[in-house]
């Protein structure tokens, strides 16, 4: 049983600015999710392009359907913008999986030096893991 205070609501969303292009995120995010027992798959849309992607976060342990969605787009000044939000599934187990997945993705990007850590922490001088691992 998950305490509802620890589970994000259906209004949960994140707006990150990773120091990586969408093409790099296409390689990194699935590997990070897999290490947490989740899957990231790209949903092909008419707007899918080298600098723009729509991704789904899946939790095979809790059943079919996405627990989270992510939209990534390259920024003109470099890096990208990554939005993370609930997926089509909104029950407690799906929201708990989204919370776990968001934390795994955040930590995976952070340890690769692609996100700035929260204050007062400072980015490591070099990534803690290989950039494409």
Taking the C-alpha atoms of residue 84 and residue 14, their distance in angstroms, rounded to an integer, is 5
Q: What is the pTM of this model?
A: 0.83
Closest CA to 2 of 94, 75, 69, 84: 94
CATH classification at residue 86: 3.30.310.10
pLDDT by residue for the chain (133 residues), tens digit each?
Answer: 344 444 455 567 888 999 999 999 999 999 999 999 999 999 988 878 889 999 999 999 988 999 999 999 999 999 999 999 999 988 889 989 999 999 999 999 999 999 988 777 777 777 777 766 5
Domain tally, the chain = 1
Residue 85 domain boundaries: 9-111
Whether 48 is covered by a domain: the verdict is yes
Whether 120 is covered by a domain: the verdict is no
Whether 42 is covered by a domain: the verdict is yes
DSSP secondary structure string, 31-84? HHHHHTT-EEEEEP-TT-BTTEEEEEEE-TTT-SSEEEEEEEEE-TTSSEEEEE
Taking the C-alpha atoms of residue 97 and residue 106, their distance in angstroms, rounded to an integer, is 14
């Amino acid at each position: 049983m998950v305490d509802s205070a620890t589970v994000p609501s259906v209004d949960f969303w994140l707006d990150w600015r990773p120091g990586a292009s969408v093409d790099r995120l296409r390689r990194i995010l699935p590997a990070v999710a897999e290490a947490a027992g989740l899957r990231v798959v790209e949903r092909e849309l008419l707007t899918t392009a080298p600098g723009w992607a729509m991704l789904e976060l899946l939790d095979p342990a809790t059943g079919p359907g996405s627990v989270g969605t992510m939209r990534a787009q390259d920024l003109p000044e470099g890096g990208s913008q990554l939005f993370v939000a609930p997926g089509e599934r909104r029950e407690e187990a799906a929201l708990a999986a989204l919370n776990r997945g968001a934390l795994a993705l955040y930590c995976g990007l952070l340890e690769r030096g692609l996100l700035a850590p929260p204050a007062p922490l400072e980015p490591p001088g070099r990534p803690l893991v290989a950039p494409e691992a």
